[in-house]
Amino acid sequence: MSTLLTAAGAIDRRAVMCRAWDLMRRVYQFGQLRFSSIGRQCLGWCVRKAWAEARDEISRWSIPAAEKAARIADLRRELSSLVYIDDWRHADRRRREIEEDILWLAA
């Protein structure tokens, strides 16, 4: 995914709309189907999703690097201690959550 932020750190509206139309093509097969068959509600969902991704990107970049590194170290420590959990379903679910958090912080 391309960045949705400008060099100054503000949300790039043009990039957000490009992302929304990209979501329309991927999720609703826009281009193969006519817009009238998809509807404005689907486009609205795509625009809201693109704005949410932009806000998520801002929140990710606003965390200082030292704090990110500390959080990643804590998450990796927790990941290594998951082998001691008896319920494998809970451990597997928590492992996936931790890995997603690490990927989010590392991006």
Question: Residues 84-100: pLDDT tens digits?
Answer: 888 889 999 999 999 99
Alpha carbons 32 and 34: distance in angstroms, whole number: 7
The whole-number pLDDT of residue 87 equals: 87
Question: CB within 8 A of 33, min separation 6: which ones?
Answer: none
pLDDT of 49 over the 70 cut: yes
Structure tokens at 41: 């509600």
19 and 45 in contact (C-beta within 8 Å)?
A: no
Contact 33, 25 (CB under 8 A): no
Read off the pLDDT of each residue in 6-28 and give the average, rounded to a whole number. Answer: 88
**This prediction's pTM:** 0.64
| Residue 103, both tokens | 């990927």
Question: 71 is written with which tokens?
Answer: 């959080």
| Residues in Cβ contact with 2 at an 8 Å cutoff, skipping those fewer than 6 apart | 15, 18, 19
Average pLDDT on 49-57 reads 91
Stretch 44-52: mean pLDDT: 94
Q: Are 21 and 46 in contact (CB under 8 A)?
A: yes
